[in-house]
Amino acid sequence: MPNGDKKIERKYARAEKKIAAAKQKSPGKAAKVEKKYGYNYEGAKAAGLGPDSTGHWPSRNPDTGEILKGRKHPTIGLTKKGEKEAGYKITRKNGTLYSQPKRRSK
């Protein structure tokens, strides 16, 4: 297994610990932590999105540009890198991340 995979596994384990600890405290705290570290499955399903043949869910809603991963999701760095390489810029509006095409300078 490449080192990058081990690093991501550690990030997932850390996120799961934080979510579990928050669930012990209160439902409100758990919801906030899940939004930060988790994935918006409800938003993805509402947009008609689902997993691909490997089981991977999309990182972005193609219609709205909403990033479906929380801002501390274990693989958000990969999403940001991919969006940048594709010519997109990630911004935050009302606590939600969005990806939009970068404006080209004239």
Tens-digit pLDDT profile for the chain (106 aa)? 455 689 989 999 999 999 999 999 998 998 999 899 999 999 999 999 999 999 999 999 999 999 999 999 999 999 999 999 999 999 999 989 999 998 876 6
Q: In a 3-state reduction of DSSP, which class is residue 97?
A: strand
Residue pair 30/70 in contact (Cβ under 8 Å)? The answer is no
Handedness of CA 104, 65, 60, 99 (dihedral sign): positive
Tracing tokens 């690093």 back to the chain, one arrives at 7
**Is the pTM above the cut of 0.75?**
yes
pLDDT of residue 3: 56
- H-helix or E-strand spanning residue 98: strand 96-101
| The predicted structure's pLDDT at residue 51 | 96
